[in-house]
Structures are given as C-alpha cells and as structure tokens.
C-alpha cells in the first residue's frame, strides 16, 4: 500500500535503518531529503557518505531542496575516489556548515565503516537527532565483494540502533537482479520502494517471521587495513565487524584502548587508568578536555571497562580496583591503524 511522504514519520516510528529502493533520480532525491528532514534541520545532525556521486552533487541536492535549512551539525564522507568516474562534479562551493572527510582512493568498506562509526560516536551524546545517508549500495556492490558490503550494512544498522540514529541506504533496484535486492532487504527495519507511478511503498520488517536474515556476526580481517601497503600478515580478530566498529565509536573508549595497547598485557590499578586517560584526553588537541577527573572515573567504571570485560579484552575487578589487560595482536594492529587515522 502506498504511503504519503507526509505520513512517513508515523510509519517509520521506531525504525533505525531504512533501505531506499529508487531508480529515478528525481524521486530518489525527494525521498532522501524527506528522510533527512523528518525533524527540523536545526534539530538534526546530518551525516552523509557518498560513493557513487561527488560531494558537490550531494551538497547541491541539500542546498536545492532545503535552501534555508542549516543542520545543527553536518558532515560528508567521500568514499568514492577510487570508484566514481572523474567526469562528475567535484566539491565546488561548499556551505561552511558542512565538514568533508575524504577516504583514501583505495579505501574499502571497512574504512568507510570506521569513518562513519567515529562520527556517529562523536555525536551520540548531543541532544539533536542524527540522520545518516549512504549513497549508494549499488556502487559498493559493484566495486567490492558482496559479503563485505553486507557486513558493512549490518554493522552500521546495529550501530545506528545503539546510538539512536536513523540511517537510510540508497539502492537502485534496476541495477541488480532480484536475488541481490532480496539479500539486502532483511537487513533493515523498513524498506521504501519509490517510483513515479505508485509513490512510496513502505514495508516494515516482520520480526515474528522466520525470514532469511544476514544479521549475524562475521569475522573481519585482522591486522592493518588493506589500504596499508606495509601491513603485516593478517591475524584473525576474535570480534565481529559490528563489535569492532562499536568498540571505536566512543572517543574515551578509543583513548583507553590506545593506552592499554601501548602498555601491554598485565594488571594495572584502576586509579592509574583514570590518570592515564585524563592525561591523554587533555593532551589531544582534537578532543575536548574532560569535564572532571570524577566524570572520567565514573564513565570508565560503569561503561567502558564493563564493555571491554564483556568482550574478554580485560578482566575488571571493581572491588579490588584493578584491571588485567589481555593483549591481542590483531586487535592491537587494528587499533594502531585507527590511531594513525585519528591522531596522525
């Protein structure tokens, strides 16, 4: 049954992931902007990732459709330098409100996932709603193996649910066979089919049905990212792709993991960890200084260390105020790569 765009908020209530199936550029653009502006722009953080279109094209779309609306926060990740043709428009005249991050020319889905994860994590505590747009799955499927794209989608959808963001991913159904489209549909809370004749058709996930699903944990490659020409031999990493992205989504948790990696295996006093994290956060120019030492202590004790303990990365003894870190070569190689991207 067709759903009018003006009723889409009610229809998608509770959905954190949406697959947008559209082949016409006009209807696709209208649907994209409608999903990004479900809340007033000034109450929304807008995060875009573009593979098949240039950043200039995506910025121009926003400026055309929402000429007076400025998001509270806005960022675009350009992941298509090695995929797009060179004939498309470049960045052009960008609004000052938009931040642009370019991935390396030979970046892979894991690199895109990490970049989106860092941005989503940095906005998690803001009062505004966060809307994410990925354009497009069609380009990713055409450039990379299908399994790595599925892992990326699954991880991003889980992360959006965790940080209370709403993401929609574009796919051109006419560019794929029915089997490919059917593989991606179960990954989402809702699927929107858009065409000029029938309008919007929204299908919500049937959580009771025993339908095929790719919501599973897939072991990603370990070691440094494949974009690193000097990476060592791959070591299997014992965490799924979505768990790994979630691990680095929070800035304080990244700081903690960087310090544990550098310190190495062994037992350390909880107070020493608090002091180390405060010192590092204060010394990193790109980070906001912690509000207080007590705020760091509380977040480590009640959020970050229990999370690492659940994954077996540390053993945390709150009563004894000690932490035992278990080193892992694959995780530490991954952390070195992320630290290089973030801090240089």
Q: Where are the domains of the chain?
A: 5-204, 252-343
Strands ordered across the beta sheet of 314-317: 266-269, 322-325, 314-317
| Three-state DSSP class for residue 133 | strand
Which class is domain 5-204?
alpha beta
Compute how many other C-beta atoms are within 10 angstroms of the C-beta atom of residue 143.
17
Q: Where are the alpha helices (DSSP H) in the chain?
A: 8-11, 25-36, 55-65, 109-123, 137-143, 146-163, 178-184, 241-247, 251-263, 270-283, 293-299, 305-310, 329-343
Q: How far apart are CA 179 and CA 226, in angstroms?
A: 29
Compute how many other C-beta atoms are within 10 angstroms of the C-beta atom of residue 201.
14
| Paired strand residues for 216 | none
| Three-state DSSP class for residue 44 | strand
DSSP-assigned states of every residue in 138-160: HHHHHHS-HHHHHHHHHHHHHHH
What pLDDT sits at residue 15?
93
Q: Global pTM?
A: 0.64
Residue 185, CA distances (Å) to 66, 210, 211 in order: 29, 14, 10
What pLDDT sits at residue 222?
34
Q: How far apart are CA 46 and CA 37, in angstroms?
A: 9
Looking up tokens 């094209």 gives 57
Say which CATH architecture domain 252-343 belongs to: Orthogonal Bundle (1.10)
**pLDDT tens-place values along the chain, 344 residues long:** 344 455 677 788 889 999 999 987 778 888 899 999 988 999 999 999 999 888 888 888 888 888 878 899 999 999 986 565 544 445 555 667 778 899 988 889 999 999 999 999 999 889 999 999 999 999 999 999 888 899 899 889 999 998 999 999 999 999 998 888 988 998 999 999 987 676 788 888 864 333 332 222 233 333 333 334 443 333 445 566 777 888 888 889 999 999 999 998 889 999 999 999 999 888 877 677 777 889 999 999 999 999 898 888 899 999 999 999 987 777 888 888 888 888 86
CA atoms within 13 A on the CB side of 95: 21
């Amino acid at each position: 049954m067709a759903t009018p765009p003006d009723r889409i908020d009610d229809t998608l209530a509770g959905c954190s992931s949406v697959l947008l199936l559209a082949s016409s550029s006009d209807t696709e653009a209208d649907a994209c902007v409608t999903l990004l502006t479900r809340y007033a722009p000034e109450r929304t953080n807008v995060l875009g990732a573009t593979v098949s279109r240039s950043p200039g094209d995506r910025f121009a779309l926003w400026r055309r459709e929402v000429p007076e609306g400025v998001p509270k926060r806005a960022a675009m990740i350009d992941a298509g330098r090695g995929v797009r043709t060179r004939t498309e428009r470049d960045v052009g005249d960008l609004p000052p409100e938009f931040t642009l991050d370019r991935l390396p020319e030979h970046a892979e889905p894991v690199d895109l996932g990490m970049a989106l994860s860092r941005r989503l994590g940095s906005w998690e505590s803001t009062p505004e709603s966060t809307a994410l747009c990925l354009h497009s799955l069609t380009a990713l499927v055409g450039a990379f193996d299908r399994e790595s794209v599925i892992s990326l989608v699954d991880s991003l959808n889980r992360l959006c649910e965790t940080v209370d963001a709403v993401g929609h991913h574009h796919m051109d159904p006419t560019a794929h066979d029915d089997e490919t489209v059917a593989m991606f549909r179960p990954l989402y809370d809702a699927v929107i089919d858009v065409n000029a004749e029938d309008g919007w058709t929204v299908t919500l996930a049937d959580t009771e049905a025993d339908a095929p699903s790719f919501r599973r944990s897939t072991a990603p490659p370990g070691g440094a990212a494949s974009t690193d020409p000097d990476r060592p031999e791959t070591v299997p990493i014992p965490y799924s792709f979505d768990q790994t992205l979630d691990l680095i989504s929070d800035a304080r948790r990244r700081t903690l993991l960087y310090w544990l990696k550098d310190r190495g295996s062994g037992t350390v006093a909880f107070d020493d960890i608090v002091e180390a994290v405060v010192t590092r956060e204060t010394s990193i120019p790109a980070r906001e200084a912690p509000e207080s030492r007590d705020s760091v202590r509380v977040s480590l004790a009640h959020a970050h260390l229990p999370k690492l303990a659940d994954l077996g990365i540390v053993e945390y003894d709150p009563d004894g105020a000690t932490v035992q870190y278990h080193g892992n070569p694959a995780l530490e190689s991954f952390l070195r790569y992320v630290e290089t991207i973030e801090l240089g």
